[in-house]
Structure 1
């Protein structure tokens, strides 16, 4: 999350409130009242209009337009009161009187709005009653009467639904979403409710309604870190504002775009984005002043001051801008604006006036405690930590930074949706990187004099690392083992089942290739609505154990032959040139822990992308890049590992999620890392401990193997043979046959025969979603799926394994929400499907992949792929993996042996390095087999042959097999 991110609060100031209401009441007149090119009408004009059309809403709204001239306000008020006495049943007179009274007397305004609501109710005027209720809700919110505001929110919804009018339904949904956003801070439900208003608002809604929708969409999207959607909303808002000649909304859109560009600058740290953001912020300031909106003016002043550099000229300009910002905040009596001005001034003062900076930051926290928005407090605490780092002893700064993260975690806990929790949390990942780096630096890890005990620094940095990682997955697994699990009511479960049945039916439509473009678009819109309903019906995230793994517990839990490498990939410097935490790898072994610096995120991201491109060439050209990445990421850490370490558990971060560590090598012409170590990836050390401590399942069980699912309605139809296991969701309906996957399935069966695990092979139409869901999964020790996978990085919950349906009630698209409910109880899952370990990477949370869903289902280890697999190569590699797995080797040892065989066969890294083990690498599915002792003649013969061939085999890698 960017330090410049600021929430929009329409109820914060009188002008914002009134203009926002009028956009809903009468956007054309409200816009004209703010447009300098349209002079306000006189009182005489309005009286004449009303006399001609006393029942017309626009004629009454003329009086409010006239009241924008302060000198005319009292006369307008008296005229409205007089007309109200003459026309006691006219609710519009009472409503507009409320608008005028609000400019000077909020209590009188509320009385007028209450009368308007009653009059409209008596006349069954749904539009008027909705608008009066919206105004009363806004006043209640301004006075922090939240329960009363909620009751008005409900009334708006009831009246709008009873009317059946699309525009009123849209207004009601926007009001409900606003309440969820502003009061309950439940961003997931807010955006889902708001999205229901979109088809009612575009393209036929009034400009005022569209502006309300887009403003709220921008605010929610920005909070969640959805910068692209927030930008799109702001651009659309600017277009609507220009077309309706609304200076206020155009100024708000300009400020939003400037703020978003600042967020991009903080993310990308490119000089050109800073210049763009500064230019856009100055334009936003001009627009705010032209519109006469002081709140937006204060926001723009603060934003410019935050973007200015540290030269004497820029420092003087920033000080002047912040003085103006504070003056406006005082005039508006806006604690929220004052808080943001204070923390920005504190950060700029830190180098030149430490005492003043500390005073400003402390005052910002005290004010933030009284603002009913936890985000404001979190931002103020972050600013306090930054000031403390620059002005006070490091231990004090670390305490302030930890307080800020506590506030962030409170924000996270307020969300009722696990994915939204993760997305909101992701915006703050850089804060965890910063604090971990500050702590390691204080412990002397950068070579500076240690300011705190080095061991304490390692422990605290490791704790920060764990607090950041895979929180939603850790919560889900911890909650699934909690004794007091929340049971779903039969009624609620029936509702969910009904919605999921409708989802399946719609997805079956989308998978039919004969559908027209129009039919597919309609089905997609229906799918989006059903997905929102299904998300709302899910139980709220259950908070599991809050105990994260300590460094000491991980050290004690590791074997003598194991090491855990936890990466933290942050930035070296912030936008002002200060230390932003840097990038690190913590190498943890049973004998202790060391921290090593690695290149920062901005350098690693393009380097890994280049390396991936070279791997795809399949010509060995990646060798030099593999050696360079080894040196940068692993060299120092591996050099200090104890000699007996043979297994590495890697906790990746940021761009490292896409890196095939097995291919890295010490020298360009040397063997890859997999020749020395067993490798696995784990989302966090806490999850690794969770899996490692899980009880061992008794021997026996089944291996359910689903291979080459046939989605054809008529089995006799010939299917196209696919060359690769496809990755595009749109191609799921055209998924071709995978004949090598059938061979792979038979190889799995052959390898496991004679073991304690009984294989059950399903192919073609029997390799179905129904077969999987109806299987006795409590007995399944191994689940193997050799099929297509589709990965949707923009909508991770639509990613799926493509199976045969097996039933009219299934679509064959096995998605994360379905996977998570399978109940696998510690099974090993092998996904021989393209990109089943990849997907959208969410900072902190990790990869939102299909593999992750199987962990939620109870799997302890998942073997999956980082990139598309060729059908024949995948079959060969997996067949070898099972041969070694059947011998009692662990999942990581078996995969290592299979990959080494592929290397010996001369296959390129692209053919074998994409398959990875995630989770508990030590998981086995059968006891080790004891090889029979050879007879003495055979021993003698073997020894003689060994002596004769020793010289011939000297060229082979000495690390061809693990040392045991």
Structure 2
């Protein structure tokens, strides 16, 4: 549904008044720019006038020898998928080059790049054209043309999954030149690109602001077609994140989009607005049924069968309350029609609707139909060539898994629900391991083949008498069935019990966490007074029986960004040791690891951090081992030291957790030594090591449905580490040094990693250290690992002082006398 509606930007509007071309005739003679004058005919055709007439007028202009008419004629041919468009663009480029008119070359290359992209050219080929266009624009010394080139190149990088940082910088540069008085189409393009990039790079508030600005711009220009499509995209954004959307916002935007689409006379947009309005009104709403029916009819009238099948699935949900058997039959018919037409996305959507309605009606075959939907989703997902395609299908698959898990919960089958979630998380983990090459470590060996899902009974058998396992499930708020809101829940598991705790919707949780983290950064004590995670944590913590001192947590959604050690680490009878894992299966695999390296600590410090070298040397002093000199700390030197031969790897370095591109996150050694990215970390050949990552946001990353946070910690685990200790937010050097000092002291006393961290955090809290100075550190992986069983014997400092003093005294007593 969402993919179908996003495509609206690519569709021309239907017919407008025929006198539009007469207005263009007048505008051409008065236009200050020949390009804009000829472009009027192209825009008139897009907005509903005749493409044939536009082609005739432009061809007449070409016959007079005007190359600006030729490049616009190429635009028209490109929109009509006319293969002559390429030759027309190339000829225009040749003519402009002979005229030494770089502005014309730039405009021609913009169009040629877009045409070749639509014909399936490689991203590199298209980017080369756009880079040439940018060079032409700069040669022309036209700020507006440079801004256009920047926006076009940014759009290409965005839609190809290229360098998002460069794309964002280019688009922001274009924005500065385009606003407030630049050409309307340029301003529109800039907002469109920035909005898309904001959505991909975890800037939700900026994305909404940019989408709203796009609507206001279209309204101010009287462009009903773009207003309609912009409002539909905004409504879809609200529907995709209902928990964080203002009440009624999706319905309001959908109604406004419908009015704009009707003014524009665009049948496709009108049908899309009816579909979106039907979805906004909600499943089971009688008024929604009428909107879905208009949607189906409208898409049928404009020859869009796949979109009509989405509408048919929506109609099934809307008619469920009045005719549940007919609703299921309608969904099944959509599945069959989509399958016959080879329309994969529509078929998957229809399968999910059919499954959801069966659970709602308590049909006997609900489980079987849902399992079939999951299987089909996985097959379709595996066929996707792009990351975006896999993500889109994966989101549909997430809904199917959530649907099945919720169905088991409704039957009070906690074990069944738990098993479904473990299947989902194992699937995502296998994909990520394959992407970064982490197939040789503990996790890679475990998940290289298709493992059976970890069952609840298996987990319970592995839990010790003082251990509790908590798994959260916070699915997105959207649902395909009436009277069946998404269920948020957590399960608290001990060796002898499994308790389900229902949780509230996640509305506002992300924004609250962002605000809270900002307050923590002030280090003035204001942070802990705002407790954004309390509604999702408090009930779960209360469900943990007294006497349990170790908590293993599988977070979900926004809770990946929460300080879980601080939230779970304070029990009624004392502190608890807390660790975070991606799934029960991962925890069991890590716990089963057994390794006894000969070396103690291998330390790597960044000379650019004031206290880093001292922190690493302090760890080596307490535990033994070696600290690499900053100038020799390089990835090659690390590999040469055989990381698998050390019990602890201590990185006191800079780290970058790239939210938009997790594969570009990195551990930076120093200005001399380069960096390690996830693929490098995953191939270090580790075998059960403890990794201390006292770097900024070392455990942060992007959250992916079902799999969790894609941070540096995950990459170390993929590379064979057993447990990683790192921070959820940036730490000051002195704070990191103070905490790590206490942590390594505990490890040297023979404590488990999670216990040593809990004790270090308790110590700092008791001393009055700010919450931000200790609560962000967390254990990822098997916190029960004990790198130094029995402790590390170190010669006591006081004994050393005493021995030195004794030696001095003896030396003085036997000092020889000169003769």
Q: TM-score range by the shorter chain?
A: 0.7 to 0.9
Aligned to 1:237: 214
Conserved 8 A contact 1:433-1:568: no
Aligned to 1:781: 647
How big is each residue's C-alpha offset from its partner over 1:438-493, in whole Å with a ceiling of 9 and x where there is no partner? 23324325xxxxxxxx75455335434544679635864653459999xxxxxxxx
Which among 749, 760, 765 is matched to residue 620 of structure 2? Answer: 749
Write the distance in 2 (CA, Å) between the matches of 1:629 and 1:49.
63
- Assess, with a 3 A threshold, how the Cα gap between structure 1 residues 475 and 682 changes in structure 2: closer, same or farther: farther
> Is 1:40 matched up with 2:17?
no
Write the distance in 1 (CA, Å) between the matches of 2:766 and 2:25.
91
> Is 1:851 matched up with 2:713?
yes
Write the distance in 2 (CA, Å) between the matches of 1:309 and 1:736.
57
How big is each residue's C-alpha offset from its partner over 1:780-801, in whole Å with a ceiling of 9 and x where there is no partner? 3212245677777678778776
Write the distance in 2 (CA, Å) between the matches of 1:328 and 1:606.
38
Write the distance in 1 (CA, Å) between the matches of 2:588 and 2:89.
60
Q: Offset of 1:761 from its aligned partner?
A: 3.9
Which among 2, 7, 10 is matched to residue 9 of structure 1? Answer: 7
Write the distance in 2 (CA, Å) between the matches of 1:309 and 1:662.
39
How big is each residue's C-alpha offset from its partner over 1:574-607, in whole Å with a ceiling of 9 and x where there is no partner? 6964242331215264x7x634123234399599
Q: Offset of 1:208 from its aligned partner?
A: 3.2
Q: Offset of 1:194 from its aligned partner?
A: 6.3
Aligned to 2:403: 435
Write the distance in 1 (CA, Å) between the matches of 2:290 and 2:486.
27
Which among 564, 577, 581 is matched to residue 469 of structure 2? Answer: 564
Aligned to 2:787: 925
How big is each residue's C-alpha offset from its partner over 1:689-721, in whole Å with a ceiling of 9 and x where there is no partner? 443344x334412412356x543xxxxxxxxxx
Which among 259, 264, 267 is matched to residue 243 of structure 2? Answer: 267
Aligned to 2:487: 581
Conserved 8 A contact 1:254-1:284: yes
Q: Offset of 1:329 from its aligned partner?
A: 0.8
> Is 1:680 matched up with 2:585?
no
Conserved 8 A contact 2:698-2:726: yes
Which among 394, 402, 419 is matched to residue 459 of structure 1? Answer: 419
Write the distance in 2 (CA, Å) between the matches of 1:219 and 1:622.
35
Aligned to 1:715: none
Q: Offset of 1:633 from its aligned partner?
A: 0.7
How big is each residue's C-alpha offset from its partner over 1:274-324, in whole Å with a ceiling of 9 and x where there is no partner? 32222222111111111222211111111122222689xx624x3332332
Q: Offset of 1:391 from its aligned partner?
A: 3.4
Write the distance in 2 (CA, Å) between the matches of 1:570 and 1:195.
30
How big is each residue's C-alpha offset from its partner over 1:861-913, in whole Å with a ceiling of 9 and x where there is no partner? 11234567687776565445434433544323444565677789899987766
Identify the range of structure 1 (878-887 vs 898-907) with the bigger mean alpha-carbon deviation. Answer: 898-907
- Assess, with a 3 A threshold, how the Cα gap between structure 1 residues 170 and 403 changes in structure 2: closer, same or farther: farther
Aligned to 1:390: 360
- Assess, with a 3 A threshold, how the Cα gap between structure 1 residues 895 and 346 changes in structure 2: closer, same or farther: same
Aligned to 1:305: 278
Q: Offset of 1:617 from its aligned partner?
A: 8.5
> Is 1:315 matched up with 2:217?
no
Conserved 8 A contact 1:153-1:176: no
Write the distance in 2 (CA, Å) between the matches of 1:65 and 1:611.
48
Conserved 8 A contact 1:90-1:119: no
Conserved 8 A contact 1:385-1:404: no
Map 1:323-338 → 2, pairs under 5 A: 323-338=293-308
Aligned to 2:267: 294
Conserved 8 A contact 1:7-1:219: no
How big is each residue's C-alpha offset from its partner over 1:748-770, in whole Å with a ceiling of 9 and x where there is no partner? 33432xxxxx4224688888989
> Is 1:281 matched up with 2:254?
yes
Aligned to 2:573: 671
> Is 1:254 matched up with 2:231?
yes
Aligned to 2:811: none
Q: Offset of 1:235 from its aligned partner?
A: 3.6
Map 1:795-810 → 2, pairs under 5 A: 804-805=670-671, 807=672, 810=674
Aligned length: 767
Aligned to 2:439: 479
- Assess, with a 3 A threshold, how the Cα gap between structure 1 residues 895 and 399 changes in structure 2: closer, same or farther: same
Write the distance in 2 (CA, Å) between the matches of 1:113 and 1:462.
52
Q: Offset of 1:820 from its aligned partner?
A: 5.6
Write the distance in 1 (CA, Å) between the matches of 2:444 and 2:740.
40
TM-score with structure 2 setting the length:
0.73
Write the distance in 2 (CA, Å) between the matches of 1:156 and 1:849.
32
Q: Offset of 1:828 from its aligned partner?
A: 0.9
How big is each residue's C-alpha offset from its partner over 1:166-209, in whole Å with a ceiling of 9 and x where there is no partner? 4999989989998999xxxx862496896687378553585435
- Assess, with a 3 A threshold, how the Cα gap between structure 1 residues 219 and 552 changes in structure 2: closer, same or farther: same
- Assess, with a 3 A threshold, how the Cα gap between structure 1 residues 803 and 482 changes in structure 2: closer, same or farther: closer
Which among 606, 620, 625 is matched to residue 759 of structure 1? Answer: 625
- Assess, with a 3 A threshold, how the Cα gap between structure 1 residues 355 and 172 changes in structure 2: closer, same or farther: farther
- Assess, with a 3 A threshold, how the Cα gap between structure 1 residues 252 and 10 changes in structure 2: closer, same or farther: closer
Q: Offset of 1:916 from its aligned partner?
A: 3.3
How big is each residue's C-alpha offset from its partner over 1:240-262, in whole Å with a ceiling of 9 and x where there is no partner? 54565533223222222232233
Write the distance in 1 (CA, Å) between the matches of 2:679 and 2:260.
46
Aligned to 1:145: none
Write the distance in 1 (CA, Å) between the matches of 2:269 and 2:228.
7
Write the distance in 2 (CA, Å) between the matches of 1:897 and 1:48.
77
Conserved 8 A contact 1:174-1:193: no
Write the distance in 2 (CA, Å) between the matches of 1:471 and 1:820.
14
Q: Secondary structure at the match of 2:778?
A: strand
- Assess, with a 3 A threshold, how the Cα gap between structure 1 residues 387 and 885 changes in structure 2: closer, same or farther: same
Conserved 8 A contact 1:435-1:464: no
Write the distance in 1 (CA, Å) between the matches of 2:408 and 2:596.
43
Write the distance in 2 (CA, Å) between the matches of 1:226 and 1:626.
21
Q: Offset of 1:432 from its aligned partner?
A: 6.0
Conserved 8 A contact 1:864-1:915: yes
Which among 695, 699, 703 is matched to residue 601 of structure 2? Answer: 703
Write the distance in 1 (CA, Å) between the matches of 2:508 and 2:212.
32
Conserved 8 A contact 1:137-1:153: no
Conserved 8 A contact 2:106-2:132: no
Aligned to 1:597: 501
Q: Offset of 1:650 from its aligned partner?
A: 2.2
Aligned to 2:807: none
Conserved 8 A contact 2:653-2:670: no
- Assess, with a 3 A threshold, how the Cα gap between structure 1 residues 422 and 132 changes in structure 2: closer, same or farther: closer
How big is each residue's C-alpha offset from its partner over 1:498-540, in whole Å with a ceiling of 9 and x where there is no partner? xxxxxxxxxxxxxxxxxxxxxxxxxxxxxxxxxxxxxxxxxxx
- Assess, with a 3 A threshold, how the Cα gap between structure 1 residues 156 and 751 changes in structure 2: closer, same or farther: closer
Aligned to 2:725: 863
Aligned to 2:412: 444
How big is each residue's C-alpha offset from its partner over 1:698-745, in whole Å with a ceiling of 9 and x where there is no partner? 4412412356x543xxxxxxxxxxxxxxxxxxxxxxx6557xx83x65
Write the distance in 1 (CA, Å) between the matches of 2:89 and 2:696.
59
Aligned to 2:331: 361
- Structure 2 unaligned regions, length at least 5: 98-104, 138-143, 794-819
Write the distance in 1 (CA, Å) between the matches of 2:236 and 2:461.
46
- Assess, with a 3 A threshold, how the Cα gap between structure 1 residues 851 and 402 changes in structure 2: closer, same or farther: same
Q: Secondary structure at the match of 1:463?
A: helix
Q: Offset of 1:836 from its aligned partner?
A: 3.8
Conserved 8 A contact 1:350-1:390: no
- Assess, with a 3 A threshold, how the Cα gap between structure 1 residues 624 and 214 changes in structure 2: closer, same or farther: closer
Write the distance in 1 (CA, Å) between the matches of 2:533 and 2:228.
50
Aligned to 1:28: none
